[in-house]
Amino acid sequence: MNLSHWIERNALEHPDGPAVGLGTKVVHTHGELRGRVERLAGGLQRLGLKRGDRVALAMKNVPEYFEVLFAIWHAGLAAVPMNAKLHASELTYILEDSGSRACFVTPALYETISATNALGLEHIFDVTGDAYAGLLAGESVAISFVEPDELAWLFYTSGTTGRPKGAMLSHRNIVAMTLNYFADFDRVMPDDCIIHPAPLSHGSGMWMFPHVCAGACNIVPETGGFDPAEIFDLIAGWQGVSMFAAPTMVRRLTTWSGEADVTNLKLIIYGGAPMYVEDCIAALDRFGPKLAQLYGQGESPMTITHLSREDIADRNHPHWRHRLGTAGVADSCVHVRVVDEDGQELPAGEKGEIVCRGDSVMLGYWNNPEATASALRGGWLWTGDVGVFDDDGYLTLTDRSKDLIISGGTNVYPREIEEVLLQMPQLAEVCVIGRPHPEWGEVVVAYLVCEPGRAVDQKDVDTYCLANMARFKRPKAYRIVDALPKSNYGKILKTEVREIEKTHDWTD
């Protein structure tokens, strides 16, 4: 099925129901959204875009995001949502690697995308501009037929070894993820809604689908981002409110000093990083039994394991505190195992790599057969994450892809930062690690070894990072050292670097 069928169905069943909101106001009803999607899809087809062509989104959270995304599918095309916070060089890479022929942008990103001169990019549309209005002014077109396993969303997710990889998510993958939401998290009704303070290009955007499927409303904060005061105003102003949030966002909501009526709050789903047990308990005390946790990856979006609101709220269970520290149990749409290096399933209590299979697991990596073969083996997705099951089937994550840093719920991959830093001629070796942080979960720290006879100033390194990578990836501290610990084979031992970071009395 084409995901855009949900837009068509909602317009028939609930034509006057709210579909998209901005702040406390309804921007489009379901009937209005259908009309805009069908006309915008017609505009895309009149550009000469053909079935399967890729169309990118370099957009902050705005109401137009929803109509652009579903118009892409209505027209039989594939979407490439990009993080609006990425550096220009990173956006250029994704545009060129995906072969995107068109890109929709919010105003602040128009010049950035135009300056990329990305190969193959033919059209750039500012969603507030006249050219975009022209696309909407034409004739509507009928929804395109697509096969369930055709590409729908090209999700760029980095690994620990180099450039970002495009995880190919099909219409079937997203439908499976959507149905899993109803099975494991919540039953959504047409008068419910979801607030999107986190980027629609990632986890929050994935949770738009259950709400579109159910005919509920998707709401963008007027600030376009996360502000606790505004979030609480939105909770008070709408019904049946859900939200996807990183643990740091939940913590900020929990510790916010203002008065807040959370009567209309239905569910906060947190993910992207584990939450400290004490922070989870504090949130439970403030909001009541309205928390759930997910563990997933871009390769199996939002769907590997979950900790239900019932588990989180069950204070009387003898293993309650232990379970709060876990990632929960396997999702309904996937089979999850912990295995050894040979793929043999390990018993409860033994640590190994987490693997899963099911209809939510990606088709593979875009134009990267080697990475696909490494990640998809014998029908299983090898996550690169290490964990252990207990006797009751609850999974505890012990490492996140070994070197992966999760800061503020955002994945930061050391190899990407190291490759940028090593372009500085003064530097001979670089090692990037994560340091625990009470608010952000982790922050990025870079260990630097200079070339013989050369020196580097920390301010110059920081300026270089700001000019060459997204701000959220920039190290928060730089350690200039004489040498890095290495194995007999010359490999930098990050475990030992982390121990140095933990035990040394750094002034910052």
Sequence ranges of the domains in the chain? 1-18+27-146, 405-503
pLDDT of the residue at 161: 45
Q: Cα(201)–Cα(59) distance, rounded to whole angstroms? A: 8
- Indicate the SS3 state at residue 109: helix
Q: What is the pLDDT of residue 299?
A: 96
What's the rounded Cα separation, in Å, for the pair 48 and 52?
12
pLDDT of residue 419: 78
Gap between the Cα atoms of 277 and 283, Å rounded? 10
Q: Read off the tokens for 391.
A: 């006797």
How confident is the model at residue 166, as a pLDDT? 97
Given this model, what pLDDT does residue 481 score?
A: 94
| pLDDT, mean of each 10-residue run, the chain (508 residues) | 96 98 98 98 98 97 98 98 92 97 98 96 98 97 97 81 85 98 97 96 95 98 92 97 92 90 97 81 96 96 97 97 95 97 95 95 97 96 93 87 77 82 90 89 94 92 93 93 77 86 80
Of 417, 398, 297, 415, residue with least CA distance to 349: 398
Res 157: pLDDT: 82
Residue type, 205: G
pTM of the model: 0.85
CATH superfamily for 405-503 is ANL, C-terminal domain (3.30.300.30)
> Do 1-18+27-146 and 405-503 have matching folds?
no
Residue 330: per-residue pLDDT = 98
What does CATH list as the number for 1-18+27-146? 3.40.50.980
What is d(CA 121, CA 208) in angstroms, rounded to the nearest whole number?
Answer: 27
The confidence score (pLDDT) of residue 401 equals 59
Residues 6+ apart with CB under 8 A from 217: 17, 18, 19, 20, 21, 26, 192, 193, 194, 211, 238
